[in-house]
Amino acid sequence: MNCIIVFLKEDPKMKIKNTDKLRYAFRAIVFKEMGDHFRNKRMLILFGIILLTCIGSLYTAISGLKNATPAEETESSFFFLKLFTLSDGTLPAYFVFISFLGPLLGIGLGFDTINSEQNKGTLSRMLAQPIPRDYVLNAKFTAALLVIAILFFSLSFLVIGAGLIALSIPPTAEEFMRIMCFTFVSVIYVALWLNLSVYFSVCFRQPTTAALAGIAVWLFFTVFAPLLINLILKTLEPSPYAPPYSQYAFQQFQFAIIQLIPNELYSQATSTLLMPTIRNLGPLTIEQIQGAIPGPLPLGQSILIVWPQLTGMIAVTMACFILSYLRFMRKEIRSR
């Protein structure tokens, strides 16, 4: 009898112990990586750039809002959200800045994830420890993601705080929730670029090559892809006298092809979240518009509108992740 009890007691304990050890190892990697990120000079530079742009666009937004404060309008028009979207033309608005600089942050955090460990000779030592290979990828990704989340949420709170002081109007609950959603979407957007650069760091032995590859993709999507898409759309554009259905199909096509650009997904999602008056993103027919009451949407409806964009971004992130996983799992790990 004693024997059985001992047996029952021992067996599950042993099992839990190993999974506990794994969780412990995972946490150890995450903490170490986060510490490395925060200590890194490169991170300081990236944080500095983003902080400066944030302060710059916040300044223009606040001065713009102060000049034109129709006091009675503040309640209904989501005054507080304008901190994130307003621009006087000299500097882009905050969310436009993030759509431009976010990729740089993601690439900067991820481009040497695996290859630098390999070049230092620590990767083979790390993989000789009893942890699954994908833990290395997962933990490093988690660490970078946490760093990004901390950065963005603190920036958002900074903007809210500055807005409180400068405008002396508190945000409504809905405005606050919208800002949080916006921040969350920003984190996902940067995570996408992070995962892409992690993939490059698995592919290329030289960190500089990986960084350049990431920057190339970024430039392609911010500069060349819009040009290319414009070119395609120009050649396909129906004449103004074409039948309405072909006009409509063209509009649909235009909407679809633009969404191949991740930056565009992000701007669509965030502008909808930050401007409650945006009621839809694609083309609409006259019948669809008929009877619509102009006015702001509740948050839930806004989220519904951007749901496709959101899942799109998450899907691309997952795709990058799976690619790096496949590439990394069966890779030969020589010492250097």
Partner 1 sequence: MHTSIIEVSSLTKLYGNFTAVDSLSLSIEKGEVFGLLGPNGAGKSTTILMLMGLTEPTAGNIRVCGLDPVRNPIEIKRKVGYLPEDVGFYDDLTGLENLRYTARLNGIPELEANTKAHKLLYDVGLEEHINKKTGQYSRGMRQRLGLADVLIKDPEVIILDEPTLGIDPAGIREFLDLIIRLSKDEGITVVFSSHHLQQVQQVCDRVGIFSKGKMHLCSLSEKDINLDELYYRFFEGGPKNEN
What are the residues binding partner 1 (CB under 8 A)?
Answer: 18, 20-22, 24-25, 28-29, 32, 39, 120-122, 124-132, 330, 332-336
Distance (Å, rounded) from C-alpha 271 to C-alpha 254?
19
- CA 274 vs CA 82, 121, 298: distances in Å: 8, 46, 12
- Least distance from partner 1 to the Cβ atom of residue 137, Å: 15
Q: How far is the CB of 129 from partner 1 (least distance, A)?
A: 4
Cα separation of 144 and 195, whole Å?
A: 10
Nearer to partner 1, 126 or 323 (CB): 126
CB of 127 to partner 1, least distance (A): 6
Query: CB of 271 within 8 A of CB of 278?
Result: yes
Q: Is 83 helix (H, G, I), strand (E, B) or coil?
A: helix
Question: Distance between the two ends of the chain, CA-based, in angstroms?
Answer: 55
Cα within 13 Å of Cα(93), Cβ side: 16
Using the minimum distance from each CB to partner 1, give the nearer residue, 121 or 298: 121
Q: Write down the least CB distance from residue 32 to partner 1, Å.
A: 6
Report the candidate in 110, 94, 130, 117 with the shortest Cα–Cα distance to residue 266. 94
C-beta closer to partner 1: residue 132 or 244: 132
Q: Buried (b) or exposed (e) across 237-260, using 16+ Cβ within 10 A?
A: eeeeeeeeeebeebeeebeebbbe
CA 265 to chain centre: 10
In what helix (H) or strand (E) does residue 188 lie, and over which residues does it extend? helix 173-203
Is the Cβ of residue 229 or residue 333 nearer to partner 1 in the bound state? 333
Which helix (H) or strand (E) segment holds residue 107: the answer is helix 94-110
Closest distance of CB 214 from partner 1, Å: 24
Least distance to partner 1, CB of residue 326, Å:
14
The smaller minimum CB distance to partner 1, of residues 234 and 336, is found at 336
Whichever of 124 and 209 has its CB closer to partner 1, that residue is: 124
CB of 105 to partner 1, least distance (A): 22
Q: Which is nearer to partner 1, 35 or 170 (CB)?
A: 35
